[in-house]
Amino acid sequence: MRLFVAVVPPRPVLLELRAALSTLPHGDAHVRWTHPESWHITLAFLGEVPEPTLPDLTERLARAAGRATPMELAVAGGGQFDSHVLWAGIQGDRDRLGRLSESVAAAARRCRVKVDERPFRPHVTLARVRGEGSTDLKPYVERMQAFRTPRWLVKEITLFESLTPVGAGRPPIYVPRGRWALTGR
């Protein structure tokens, strides 16, 4: 199973983000836009995880969530990773979100799951560019700079399985495998 742990913004936030993106140009064939129903903030990418590991992993993720308290976040601004990925930024309790990410990754490592070790950079992926140097993302980033949603209270984390759909060029399907409340116990 290909897994990751994420925070999913609430529907009103996703609708505001969708409205903002509708003002950006969408005619470039090299820009592949992500689907709003897949938007999330990845806390930890776990990659391939053997199914027998799932019970221990879910128990440890529940404990990690249970130690964290709800936090306020907002989607704001935008940026790019290299010339390939356009993203919306995250503002608010970023330090606490970072600690939650570390706790989730530690829970996975205790299950002998190899966690992606890249530095945590909270964002929502909006689009990916196919073909090296084919599209300049700077105009998109500039237009996203003034964007900001109201803050919302993050109350849970979700473990997702990423399924590869049948058919070339179709985006992955994210299936929730577990949700845990941030209770701060």
Supply the DSSP string of 143-168, one letter for each residue: HHTT-BPPPEEE-EEEEEEEEPPSST
Cα–Cα distance, 159 to 177 (Å, whole number): 5
Ranges of residues in the chain whose predicted pLDDT is under 50: none
Looking at residue 137, its pLDDT comes to 86
Cβ burial of 144 (10 Å; 0-12, 13-18, 19+) is: buried
Looking at residue 169, its pLDDT comes to 66
Contact (CB, 8 A) for 177 and 160: yes
Looking at residue 184, its pLDDT comes to 84
Looking at residue 82, its pLDDT comes to 84
Structure tokens at 72: 């306020």
Looking at residue 132, its pLDDT comes to 64
Looking at residue 133, its pLDDT comes to 59
Core vs surface per residue 19-43: b (16+ CB within 10 A) or e? ebbeebeeebeebeebeeebbbbbb
Contacts of residue 162, defined as CB under 8 A and 6 or more positions apart, other chains included, come to: 2, 3, 4, 172, 173, 174
159-181 per-position pLDDT tens digit: 999 998 776 667 788 999 999 99
Q: Can you say how many angstroms the Cα of residue 101 is from the centroid of all Cα atoms in its chain?
A: 11
Looking at residue 22, its pLDDT comes to 87
